[in-house]
Every structure is written in C-alpha cells, then in structure tokens.
C-alpha cells in the first residue's frame, strides 16, 4: 500500500479523492498496489465529509511523515504551492500537480530537483484538464520533430465564444452567463485575457523544444474585444472565432502566441465548442494529430491527476525523464509572425480597400455604416505599416 497526501480539497482535490474511491479496483490493478489517501490538507474544515478524519491544517504533518510517498498538489496559485512542492521533493516525496501556474513558472527547477532526487514531478492535468497531452508528447510523439502545436486551451473562453457565435449574444452578457455557471471566475482576467492559455502553450512548447519558453514573453491577446458584430462577419465568412495558443518551430526559429483567430471548417479545431479543449500537433513523421476532450472540470481533471499518481507509484524512486531545461528558448519577435487579417472599418474610410492585397471584401446588410476586408497573408510588420496612422478601424482579428 502506498500513502499519498492531497494538498487542497477544492474542486480538483475532492475529485481526486472521489476518483480514487470510485475506480479503486481498476486503479489498484494498474498501480500494482492500493493507494491510500493518508492526509488531505486544507485550511477549511469539512465536518461529515469522507475525508474528515484525514484532514490536517499543518503541512509539516505531511512533509515530515516518512510514510507519505506521494504529494498531490491541487491547491492552485504559485505560493505556497511552490514552497510545499519543493519541500516535498527535498524530503524524498514525488509530486504531481494540476497547477499550470506553478508548472509554467517553476517547471524546469522542480523537474531538475525531482531528477536529482530520483523522484518524479508530473503535471498531466496542467494542460487540457483531462485530455492526455503531456504524456503523449513525452512518450509517444518523442520520435517526431514537432513542427507546431495549435490549441484551444481554455474552456471558459471557448464557452463564451461558442455562445456568442450560436446565440448572437454580446461578450458582456455571455461572460455573466459563464460566471453564473461557475466556468469563469469572479475575476475572469486569467481566462479572458489569454494568460491561462499562454501558460499552457508555454508548457507544451517547453516540452517539445526541451528549453524553457517563458509565458511572459508570449505575445498574448484575449477575447475582450470580440463583439457580436465580429461573430456575424465570421458566420458570413463560414468561419468561427477561437482563442488559439500557437507554437511553431520553423528551421529552429520559434514563434509563439495566444490570440483570437477566425478558422474555417477545414481547420481541425473548428468543431471544438463549448467548454471543450482541442490540441492539434504536427510532427515530421506522424503529420497531424488531434487531442480532444474536457479541458477542465472536477472528474476529468482528477482523472489526469490520478494517472500521474499511478505512474509515480509504478516509478517510486525511479525518475521518469522529462527534458525541459532551464535554458531559455528564444522566441522570434512578434512582428515577424505572419497571418491573414480581418479588418472592420467605417464605410467612410474607402482607402482600406486598397491598402492591402485583399482576398475578400464584405458588407453586412444590417450594418451599412461599415465594411470588412480579409487581407492576403503577410507579416505583422507589413500589416502594422499598412494600418499605421489610419483611423476608423473597428476591429482586427487574425484569420487562419
Ligand atoms: N480556467 C481554466 C479553463 C480551467 O477555463 O480552461 C482549466 O485549466
């Protein structure tokens, strides 16, 4: 029997305890032995709950107990999660986590520490919730050179964009609905401004390049500026608007960004709607692969966390190698990225029709005071030069 401790009894922590209980037979079969939750750490009390007798408020009880072999960090945030995880590894305990903020910021250090101690620091649930993506990248796609990854990596924003597209509602109305349903936080900044997706694409990028991609260096744009009128144009173009996290490796040059994009039916991520996540990878041998599933939620995320626990039970004091060095990966300047651009303009601004080589010119019957163009593909530097000093632009969205 292996003893574990769960740090945090929120949505994911309670999901981990529930998953271990509900699927105990199948989990025991795969792990080769019983997994016992010896402690749950939380500041709150949970009278009458199944973990009442396991609840502790002091982390020292856990970290100083030699019977605990695995610590499951599902508290979220970077502090004290970082200090707790580091101390656990230093004291000979493997750690798994769902915490993308922790992994994006301290991944290389914690991976190196686990390696040095012949332990493991695993984080399958930190990207794509329940979707297996970290393990496939490390163990299955490791034959390939991954040329690019494109992902819908944030469920909250995908829910908002899907509702706006399907119901014609405004961003503000739909955000309130997402908050009422518990998808978006009271402070939705990390989701709607793209920072959550930036951390996730930084983690995936670091794993495919083996060097540290700093999420702070990824040009990040969220969905706050997407309007119901943009959605009407997207429909007229046969496209949907999706918040994409992207990383490209072209001849050793790394391009990475998070931004809303218009994508059409031919794109693998077109059908990824509501709170679902989708991740498309392209390898030089395998070609395109798509991973799809629940990117958040109690039991889907718990499923990924428990898969890490099983791996750690099977590799107790044997490090599973993860190549993610602290050496910084150099990202190409955003001005060198390329795209097609959708631009909405006031009708009086005729010159936008000739400012670029355009693929499409579009008007909507119920919005006679404006029109839109879709440009041919160009770099951001070229596009920025073309719109410099121009007024009357209502919105700009990249087009795939
Ligand atoms: N806030 C995140 C999302 C939770 O909406 O995708 C899962 O990481």
pLDDT digits 0-9 by tens, 263-316? 999 999 999 999 999 999 999 999 999 999 999 999 999 999 999 999 999 999
Instruction: Flag whether 184 is in a domain.
Output: yes
Q: Dihedral sign, CA of 246, 322, 300, 200?
A: negative
Q: Are 191 and 167 within one domain? A: yes
Q: Which residues contact 391 (CB under 8 A, 6 or more apart)?
A: 349
Q: In Å, what is the CA distance from 78 to each residue of 147, 218, 251, 279, 296? A: 31, 19, 34, 25, 19
Q: Are 95 and 149 within one domain? A: no
How far, in Å, CA of 4 to CA of 342, rounded?
Answer: 52
**Residue 154 Cβ contacting ligand 1 at under 6 Å:** yes
The total domain count for the chain is: 3
List the CATH number of the domain containing 258: 3.30.360.10
Residue 106 in 3-state DSSP? Answer: helix
Catalytic residue status for 400: no
Q: Please give the residue range of the domain that contains residue 167.
A: 134-294
Out of 280, 314, 348, pick the residue that ends a domain. 314
Report CA(9)–ligand 1 centroid distance (Å).
Answer: 18
Q: Which residues contact 29 (CB under 8 A, 6 or more apart)?
A: none
Q: Are 143 and 112 within one domain? A: no
pLDDT at residue 391, rounded to an integer:
87
Whether the full predicted model's pTM is greater than 0.85, yes or no, is yes
Q: Are 340 and 393 within one domain? A: yes
Report CA(344)–ligand 1 centroid distance (Å).
Answer: 30
pLDDT at residue 327, rounded to an integer:
98
With tokens 């390939």, the residue in question is 144
Instruction: Flag whether 39 is in a domain.
Output: yes
Q: Are 238 and 270 within one domain? A: yes
List the CATH number of the domain containing 124: 3.40.50.720
**Residue 191 Cβ contacting ligand 1 at under 6 Å:** yes
Instruction: Flag whether 57 is in a domain.
Output: yes
Farthest CA pair distance, the chain: 74
**Residue 98 Cβ contacting ligand 1 at under 6 Å:** no
Torsion region of 226: left, alpha or beta (phi above 0 gives left; psi -120 to 50 gives alpha)? beta
**Residue 196 Cβ contacting ligand 1 at under 6 Å:** yes
Instruction: Flag whether 325 is in a domain.
Output: no
| CA torsion, ordered 381, 386, 389, 390, to nearest 10 deg | -140
The ligand 1 atom nearest the CA atom of 127: 8
Q: Are 116 and 151 within one domain? A: no
How far, in Å, CA of 360 to CA of 48, rounded?
Answer: 63
Instruction: Flag whether 248 is in a domain.
Output: yes
With tokens 């597209």, the residue in question is 165
Whole-number CA gyration radius for the chain: 23
Instruction: Flag whether 330 is in a domain.
Output: no
**Residue 273 Cβ contacting ligand 1 at under 6 Å:** no
Report CA(156)–ligand 1 centroid distance (Å).
Answer: 6
Q: Whose CA is nearest to atom 4 of ligand 1?
A: 296
Instruction: Flag whether 322 is in a domain.
Output: no
Q: Are 47 and 188 within one domain? A: no
**Residue 114 Cβ contacting ligand 1 at under 6 Å:** no
pLDDT in tens, the chain (400 residues): 999 999 999 999 999 999 999 999 999 999 999 999 999 999 999 999 999 999 999 999 999 999 999 999 999 999 999 999 999 999 999 999 999 999 999 999 999 999 999 999 999 999 999 999 999 999 999 999 999 999 999 999 999 999 999 999 999 999 999 988 878 777 899 999 999 999 999 999 999 999 999 999 999 999 999 999 999 999 999 999 999 999 999 998 999 999 999 999 999 999 999 999 999 999 999 999 999 999 999 999 999 999 999 999 999 999 999 999 999 999 999 999 999 999 999 999 998 999 999 999 999 999 999 999 999 999 999 999 999 988 899 999 999 9
Residue 324 burial by CB count (10 A; 0-12/13-18/19+): exposed, middle or buried? buried
Q: Are 72 and 147 within one domain? A: no
pLDDT at residue 383, rounded to an integer:
97
Q: Are 285 and 163 within one domain? A: yes
Q: Are 266 and 146 within one domain? A: yes
Q: Contact at 8 Å (CB) between 201 and 153?
A: yes
Q: Whose CA is nearest to atom 2 of ligand 1?
A: 154
List the CATH number of the domain containing 366: 3.30.70.120
Q: Are 212 and 288 within one domain? A: yes
């Amino acid at each position: 029997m292996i003893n574990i401790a769960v740090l945090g009894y929120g949505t994911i922590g309670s999901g981990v305890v529930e998953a271990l209980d509900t699927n105990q037979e199948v989990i025991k079969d795969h792990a080769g032995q019983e997994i016992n939750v010896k402690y749950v750490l939380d500041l709150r009390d949970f009278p009458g709950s199944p973990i009442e007798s396991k609840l502790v408020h002091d982390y020292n009880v856990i970290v100083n107990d030699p019977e605990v072999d695995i610590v499951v960090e599902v508290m979220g945030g970077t502090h004290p999660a970082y200090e707790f995880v580091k101390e656990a590894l230093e004291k000979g305990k493997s750690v798994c986590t769902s915490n993308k903020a922790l992994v994006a910021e301290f991944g290389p250090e914690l991976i190196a520490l686990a390696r040095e101690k012949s332990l493991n620091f695993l984080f399958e649930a930190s990207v794509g919730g329940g979707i297996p993506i970290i393990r496939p990248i490390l163990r299955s796609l490791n034959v390939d050179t991954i040329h690019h990854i494109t992902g819908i990596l944030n469920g909250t924003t995908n829910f908002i964009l899907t509702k706006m597209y399907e119901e014609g509602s405004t961003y503000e109305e739909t955000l309130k609905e997402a908050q009422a349903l518990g998808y978006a936080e009271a402070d939705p900044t990390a989701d709607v401004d793209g920072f959550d997706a930036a951390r996730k694409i930084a983690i995936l990028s670091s794993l495919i390049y083996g060097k540290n991609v700093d999420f702070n260096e990824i040009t990040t744009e969220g969905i706050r500026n997407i309007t119901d009128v943009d959605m009407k144009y997207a429909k007229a173009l046969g496209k949907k608007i999706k918040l994409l996290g992207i990383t490209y490796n072209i001849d050793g040059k790394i391009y990475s960004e998070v931004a809303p994009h218009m994508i059409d039916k031919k794109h693998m991520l077109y059908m990824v709607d509501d709170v679902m996540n989708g991740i498309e990878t392209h390898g030089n041998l395998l070609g395109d692969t798509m991973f799809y599933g629940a990117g958040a939620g109690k039991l889907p995320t718990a499923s990924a966390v428990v898969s890490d626990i099983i791996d750690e039970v099977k590799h107790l004091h044997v490090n599973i190698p993860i190549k993610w060095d602290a050496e910084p990966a150099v990202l190409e300047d955003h001005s060198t990225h390329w795209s097609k651009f959708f631009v909405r303009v006031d009708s009086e601004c005729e010159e936008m029709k000739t400012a670029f080589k355009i693929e499409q010119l579009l008007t909507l019957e119920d919005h006679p005071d404006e029109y839109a163009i879709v440009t041919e593909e160009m770099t951001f530097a070229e596009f920025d030069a073309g719109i410099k000093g121009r007024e009357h632009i209502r919105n700009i969205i990249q087009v795939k």
